[in-house]
Amino acid sequence: MNEFDYIIVGGGSSGCVVAARLSENPQNKVLLIESGARDTDKFIHIPATFFKVIEKGKDVHFYVSEPDKGLNGKPNVVPQGNVIGGGSSLNAMIYIRGQQQDYDTWAQMGCRNWSYDKVLPVFRDVEANQRLSGEFHGATGELKVSDRRFGHPLSWAFIRAAQEAGLPYNEDFNGKVQQGVGFYQTTTHNVGAGALRKPSCATPRNART
Ligand SMILES: Cc1cc2nc3c(=O)[nH]c(=O)nc-3n(C[C@H](O)[C@H](O)[C@H](O)COP(=O)(O)OP(=O)(O)OC[C@H]3O[C@@H](n4cnc5c(N)ncnc54)[C@H](O)[C@@H]3O)c2cc1C
C-alpha cells in the first residue's frame, strides 16, 4: 500500500480512536504513524505501575518547559507517552473530565464548539458508565467507566479525614460539581491478569502502523 486516504500522525489516545473509526469503512485506506514502539513493556499493562515506565524512560518523551517563575526559575518536566497508545499506555486510568469553566472559557475565547454544553453530549455518547446515568453520564457508549474494585483502608480513612476537615463528599467528580473528596471512577474495564496479554491500543482494522 503506497497510497492512503487518511494519514494520522501519532498513535496515541486520540490518533488510535480516529484511525479505528475511519477504518470501520473497509473502503478507507488509513495509515497511522507512531514515532514510538509497540506497547510490549509489562508495566504498561499492569495498573498503576506507570511510574515504572516513566522511570525506564524508553517509551516516554520528556518535554521540558521554559524556566518557570512559579517553580523558582526551574523548568517543568512533563512526561508524555512515546509508544503506541501514547498517554493511554502510561496513564493512571482515572476518569475525570475537564472542568466546566475551562470549556466555557475556551468558548468565550473563540472555540465556540468547545463550551461545556457542546462537549457534554459527546462525553455522554462515548461513555458506558457502570453505575451512573442521566444528565451527566452515558451508559451505552464504547468507553467503559467503572468504580474501583478495591478500596484500601487508608483510602477510606483519608476520605473520612477530609470530610472531618470540612470538605464536602463528592460521589461523582464528572457531575454537577467537581469540588470535594471521594473515590474517582476509572477506565479499567477488564483490567486484570488477562489484560497483560492484550495491547492497550487496539490496532485499527484496515490500518497500518
Ligand atoms: C503519566 C501520565 C498519567 C496520566 N494519567 C491520566 C489519568 O489518570 N486520567 C486521564 O484522563 N488522563 C491521564 N493522563 C493524560 C492522558 O493520558 C492524555 O491527556 C492523553 O493520552 C492525550 O491523548 P492525545 O491523543 O492528545 O496524545 P498522546 O496520547 O500523547 O498521543 C500522541 C502520540 O503521538 C506520538 N508522536 C508525537 N510526535 C510524533 C511524530 N512526530 N510522529 C509520529 N508520532 C508522534 C507520540 O509518541 C504519542 O503516541 C496521564 C498522562 C500521563 C503522561
| 30 belongs to a structural domain | yes
Q: Are both 82 and 123 inside the same structural domain?
A: no
Rounded to the nearest angstrom, the distance between the alpha carbon of 4 and the centre of ligand 1 is 24
Q: Are both 115 and 85 inside the same structural domain?
A: no
- Give the residue numbers spanning the domain of 127: 100-186
User: How many distinct structural domains can be found in the chain?
Assistant: 2
| 38 belongs to a structural domain | yes
Rounded to the nearest angstrom, the distance between the alpha carbon of 166 and the centre of ligand 1 is 35
Q: Which three cell numbers stand for residue 103?
A: 470549556
| 1 belongs to a structural domain | no
Q: Which atom of ligand 1 is nearest to the CA of 61?
A: 47
Q: 89-148: per-residue pLDDT in tens?
A: 999 999 999 999 999 999 999 999 999 999 999 999 999 999 999 999 999 999 999 998
**From the CB of 200, is ligand 1 less than 6 Å away?**
no
**From the CB of 14, is ligand 1 less than 6 Å away?**
yes
Distances (CA, A) of 40 to 2, 31, 49, 84: 27, 21, 14, 9
CA gap 137, 123 in Å, rounded: 7
CATH number of 175's domain: 1.10.1220.110
Q: Are both 125 and 170 inside the same structural domain?
A: yes
| 58 belongs to a structural domain | yes
Q: Are both 147 and 202 inside the same structural domain?
A: no
Q: 40-84: per-residue pLDDT in tens?
A: 999 998 888 999 999 999 999 999 999 999 999 999 999 999 999
